[in-house]
Structure 1
């Protein structure tokens, strides 16, 4: 039997497929969830959603900066996405962002996807530290990162405006040694 570093008990991280447009188009209807992940934008047309999913599916893969679908292991349905960004090879650091559609919250999908991504970045790509920014209004994500063992490293006051208020941004970090102690 073969195993994959991209597969956990509940989720599989995989590349984008053109059919993923439908799930993300539906996820975009939940304004609160969209705000928690990044920023609220005007609604997209079905044609635009299809085009973006197709573009993501055809995008050349970079080993360090990429976006993956979080798929439910049992049926491969898209339930969210996870990406890496702000890669600093010289320093061995990177940041990531994660989004899980509201119908799939509180099922362990986000935590498992993060652990899988960090394992790849730490043990296959030789990074030494992961970072994540979380908005102060996103209590579930704050709790998730603390539960996963991330260390709160800083707070940028009033760094974002959304939903009629200013949010602070919390910076969380985890080193490869902290990850290894907890998950390896």
Structure 2
């Protein structure tokens, strides 16, 4: 038996209340947090537990997903991937991914992205995926290029973090491009 949610390195799964500790730990690396979105003040263990519990208890949605990226070998959380800006009428969606610093450069992000895209294209009939990457996040820029995404545009100086302005680079991949690479 095989699952569309499992690859060689990762398994995508729903968040569980006990995942709070791993995600709170990932927040310790400010640069990594900034690369994903924005830096927030530190939160308490109680707040992190509440966050994980609320996400675990949310009713699932077929198109707006938020999934734990777990190591395939032992199930420990290594990051999270989610879809957003879902436009059913146009068949487009965007996604974001964040991998905890101790788990960088192990192939988790690339495999998780491919698993998510396969689900959204082959099961949900979307026709295009988009990802916004900050121009200072060189590893993510390289990852998206390596995965076959096309750079479609740039919003100049659209984010301020760590005392500097960053561009946002828009990447896109169509279902045909995905199929040619990952059939």
TM-score range, shorter chain: over 0.9
Q: Distance in 2 between matches of 1:174 and 1:20?
A: 31
What CA deviation, in whole Å up to 9, does each residue of 1:40-79 have, x standing for no partner?
A: 0000000000000001111111100010000000110000
| SS of residue in 1 equivalent to 2:54 | helix
TM superposition outliers: structure 1 runs of 4+ over 2 Å? none
Partner in structure 1 of residue 85 of structure 2: 86
Partner in structure 1 of residue 122 of structure 2: 123
Q: Distance in 2 between matches of 1:139 and 1:5?
A: 29
Deviation, structure 1 residue 133: 0.1
| TM-score, length-scaled by structure 1 | 0.99
| SS of residue in 2 equivalent to 1:34 | helix
In the alignment, does 2:165 pair up with 1:166?
A: yes
Q: Which runs of 5+ in 2 are unaligned?
A: none
| SS of residue in 2 equivalent to 1:7 | coil
CA RMSD of aligned residues (A): 0.3
In the alignment, does 2:69 pair up with 1:57?
A: no
| SS of residue in 2 equivalent to 1:95 | strand
Q: Distance in 2 between matches of 1:35 and 1:129?
A: 26
Q: Which runs of 5+ in 1 are unaligned?
A: none
Q: What is the number of residues matched between the two proteins?
A: 183
Partner in structure 1 of residue 148 of structure 2: 149
| SS of residue in 2 equivalent to 1:119 | helix
| TM-score, length-scaled by structure 2 | 1.00
| SS of residue in 1 equivalent to 2:15 | coil
